[in-house]
Amino acid sequence: SLNTQRVSSVIGTTEAGQIGYQCEHQQGQAHHLIDDYTYLEIVDEQGAPVPLGEAGRLLVTTLTKSSFPLIRYDIGDSGRFHLAPCPCGRQGRVIDYLGRVDDMMSLGLVNISYRDLKAKLEDLDISEMQLIGRYQDGRELLIVQLESDTYQKNSLIQIVKERLLTVPDLGSSLKTNTFDLEINVWPPGTLPRKQRTGKLAQVVDERVHR
């Protein structure tokens, strides 16, 4: 009804603004970078540049913001540079935008992936999920926060617990009582959001503030 000829993706951040866009030849993860305004690096977990074509964390340096500059700012996303130029002929660099990388938390000796847990629960009546790591009574505690409008709250908690026990490593750690588990169900939209962006933090590690 709007006579739209083409719908394209734009990568934007709250702090740095727009950093990438799609041309008429791109779809999916591929995006041109806006190098005239922001300089983007792809690095490993130690902050060193990754080899061309390999995935890593995205660091952004703003080139035009004088009042609020960003220097190698980690935006919490991952990507990889394309090895070949885009068929459109534009000279700007091209990346595959691979999404968030801050969805992992370690408890005990187990790395817990937000995406893996969310995949285990995707068929349930759950609109949002948040993982919290906390120290409580001298032990590590994994808190799984769920938003759902189901009226069978206790049944949902039991189903979620049974599903988590089937996740490799996490399930065995829970069975051996390596750390504690707490599951809470909230009405939709009631979990605390980030004040500035209004988004729900998927993974919150409160142990770093201990």
- 206: phi > 0 → left, psi -120 to 50 → alpha, else beta; which? alpha
Q: Given pLDDT bands bounded at 50, 70 and 90, which one contains residue 5?
A: confident
**What is the rounded average pLDDT of the residues 205-209?**
66
Per-residue pLDDT band at 209 (split at 50, 70, 90): very low
The pTM (predicted TM-score) of the whole model is 0.56
Answer whether residue 56 shows pLDDT above 80: yes
pLDDT of residue 197: 63
pLDDT given for residue 210 in this prediction: 40
Higher pLDDT, 34 or 102: 34
Highest mean pLDDT among 72-81, 82-91, 134-143, 197-206: 134-143
d(CA 16, CA 69) in angstroms, rounded, equals: 9
Mean pLDDT of the chain: 87
Query: pLDDT band at 85, cuts 50/70/90?
Result: confident
Each residue's pLDDT tens digit, 87-127: 999 988 999 887 766 677 878 878 888 888 999 999 999 99
Burial of 190 (0-12, 13-18, 19+ CB in 10 A): exposed
> Residue 2 — φ and ψ, nearest 5°?
-95, 5
Number of residues assigned to the chain? 210
Name the amino acid, one letter, at 184: N
Separation of alpha carbons 53 and 84, rounded Å? 10
| 135-138 contacts, C-beta under 8 A, 24 or more apart | 135/206, 135/207, 135/210, 136/180
3-state secondary structure of 159: helix
Asked if residue 172 has pLDDT above 80, the reply is yes
Cβ atoms of residues 81 and 42 within 8 Å:
yes
Asked if the model's pLDDT at residue 175 lies above 70, the reply is yes
Which residues contact residue 75 at a Cβ distance below 8 angstroms, ignoring those fewer than 6 apart?
Answer: 13, 15, 16, 58, 59, 60
pLDDT tens-digit series, residues 188-206: 999 998 775 678 888 887 8
Q: Which of 79, 76, 99, 101 is nearest to 32 (CA)?
A: 79
pLDDT at position 28 is 80
> Does residue 51 surpass a pLDDT of 60?
yes
Predicted confidence band at 153 (pLDDT cuts at 50, 70, 90)? confident
